[in-house]
Amino acid sequence: MVRERRKKGKESKKSSEVQQEQNLAVVLKVFGRTGVHGEVNHVLCKLISGRDKGKTLKRNIKGPVKVNDKIVLLETEREAKTISSRRR
């Protein structure tokens, strides 16, 4: 019984971590694809809710995305580096 109680306590901590502030953003511009296989999109997005409302960020988003899509960002302090093209 003691082990079951400990497990329940750990689960409640995890669920509280998941419920942190989520910021809603809208995609303004898609710069291009990046990643080893081109699976990540480099986009410019503007926050429309949360603590940093109105701030624009460059982010890397995995999966299909287009202009005017709404995305959820778990954190808004980091910004993606710009894509530099390598010429050989």
pTM above 0.75, yes or no: no
Domains in the chain: ranges and CATH: 21-78 (2.40.50.140)
For the chain, the DSSP string reads -HHHHHHHHHHHHHHHHHTS--EEEEEEEEEEEESSSS-EEEEEEEE-SSTTTT-EEEEEEES---TT-EEEES--S--PPPP-----
| Nearest-5° Cα angle at 18, 15 to 20 | 125
Structure confidence by residue, pLDDT tens digits, 29-73: 999 998 888 889 999 999 999 888 999 999 999 999 999 999 999
How far apart (Å, rounded) are the C-alpha atoms in residues 41 and 61?
5
Q: List residues bridging with 56 in a β-sheet.
A: 46
Is 90 exceeded by the pLDDT of residue 24?
A: yes
